[in-house]
Amino acid sequence: MSMSKDSYTYNRKTFEDAEFPILCETCLGNNPYIRMQKDTYGGECKICERPFTTFRWMPGKGARYKKTEVCQTCSKLKNVCQTCLLDLEYGLPVQVRDHALSIKDDMPKHGANRDFYIQNADRALAQTDGTVPGGEVGKIADASTNPLLRKLARNQPYYNRNLPHICSFFVKGECTRGEECPYRHEKPTDPDDPLSQQNMRDRFYGTNDPVAEKLLNRAKAMPKLSPPEDAAITTLYLGNLGLNNQLIVQESDLRDYFYQFGEIRQIHMLPQKCCAFIEFTTRAGAEVAAERTFEQLVLKGQKLKVRWGQPPRARNQAKPADSAANLAPVPNLPNPCPVPSFFGYDGPSTSKRARVENLPLPPEPPSKLVVPNVPYPGAGRQMEPPASSSRIYYPSQDPQRLGAKGDVVD
């Protein structure tokens, strides 16, 4: 008995109808009065190749028109935006998220296996309220506590992603539309840049994504808190507990948070420096606490600085101590020489003013300057030294000292 096409729905591609798309905040734009165009069965999904309802809108002023690229079933299976295919919660590529959560989702990519997989996924998603993701992502309950995702997550929307594409005629110098051109008149980036070659299917399946590889390389270059070699150290330093010598994070807050990592021996608070030292009973608890809180601990709006504590003996060795006063005198050494007295100087004084007052005064200048009376060089007689001690005579004042005869001509 033959069955009609309308009644026979087993293992058959079904069209998808929706009233509103699944979008991230960046693709939706910053315009609250957005006008969106709906086209029922207006496009084919780039992943499962099924017809679905497409949406087209302008995210904001100066942006380009955007539209949905994949159906809502594929979007829910990966928990991604229908337009940019980035994670809806963290704004990261699928490859980065799956690497952080250790997800190995081997979805069929072609043929009847893909159609059968999508059909089973539709049946499973129909039993939910439509707000939870499907696939392997929906099975992970504590994804929000992953430290790598919290470090790389984008907390604010990035609207530059909605800018128009670069005008190819402007690059060739042939664009004649000027300011009316809907494309950007800018110089393109390096064509050899890996980010300029992105594929939508690779982004969805999380393979060979250049943006994901860039983010993973950045995560590897991030600083890490390595434990000290001394296994007896079980103390962590916590800084930035307050502002202006006023504690915001109290001891009870630290105890309630760090108790999940292990038993706490004591917490030493320093309110003047807005820091604290927390000591665990075991080294394993201290290592787990340092690994999970380094560069990611926020309590009462304060991002705490987490470091390993330094033992007291190491702190004492690090500071140069002035131990000259505590040393015993060496026997059989000569006594120090006395300080010579110059210009009435009797040795160092206790105050700066006293040392200045003990210095002798400079000599007084002469009361008057005596100018010698030198005769005219042509007088022809030898100048005699002055008899009076009040007159000053210099040998260089004699005009005939070097054999000169003045005005005499032989």
DSSP tally for the chain: helices H, then strands E: 12, 11
Q: Using 50, 70 and 90 to split pLDDT, how confident is the model at 254? A: very high
Q: Using 50, 70 and 90 to split pLDDT, how confident is the model at 1? A: very low
Tokens read off for 37: 């165009």
**Mean pLDDT value across residues 182-207:** 85
Confidence check: pLDDT of 65 > 70: yes
pLDDT of amino acid 84: 93
Q: What is the pLDDT of residues 80-122, one digit of tens each?
A: 999 999 999 999 999 999 998 888 888 888 888 998 998 898 8
Mean pLDDT of the residues in the chain? 81
Q: What is the value of pTM for the model shown?
A: 0.62
List Cβ neighbours of 136 (8 Å cut-off, separation of 6 or more).
103, 104, 105
Q: What is the pLDDT of residues 353-365, one digit of tens each?
A: 555 566 666 766 6
Please state, in angstroms and rounded to a whole number, the distance separating the CA atoms of residues 40 and 54.
6
Confidence check: pLDDT of 209 > 50: yes
Confidence check: pLDDT of 202 > 70: yes
* Domains present along the chain, CATH in parentheses: 11-222 (no CATH), 235-317 (3.30.70.330)
Q: What is the pLDDT of residues 286-329, one digit of tens each?
A: 999 998 888 888 898 888 999 999 876 655 555 555 555 567 77
Please state, in angstroms and rounded to a whole number, the distance separating the CA atoms of residues 120 and 132.
16
Alpha helices in 206-279 (DSSP H): 210-220, 251-258
Q: Residue 204 phi/psi, 5° resolution?
A: -70, -45
The answer to whether residues 39 and 53 touch, using CB atoms and an 8 Å cutoff, is yes
pLDDT of amino acid 220: 85
pLDDT of amino acid 379: 53
Q: Using 50, 70 and 90 to split pLDDT, how confident is the model at 236? A: very high
Q: Which of 205, 208, 182 is nearest to 194 (CA)?
A: 208
Tokens read off for 387: 């008899």
Q: Which of 207, 270, 208 is nearest to 239 (CA)?
A: 270
**Mean pLDDT value across residues 212-231:** 87
Helix (H, G, I), strand (E, B) or coil at 211: helix
The answer to whether residues 61 and 45 touch, using CB atoms and an 8 Å cutoff, is no
| Most confident stretch, 132-136, 328-332, 342-346 | 132-136
Residue with tokens 């040393």: 327
Helix (H) / strand (E) element for 266: namely strand 264-270
Alpha helices in 221-282 (DSSP H): 251-258
pLDDT of amino acid 11: 47
**Mean pLDDT value across residues 260-277:** 91
Confidence check: pLDDT of 188 > 80: yes
380 or 153, greater pLDDT: 153
Confidence check: pLDDT of 401 > 80: no
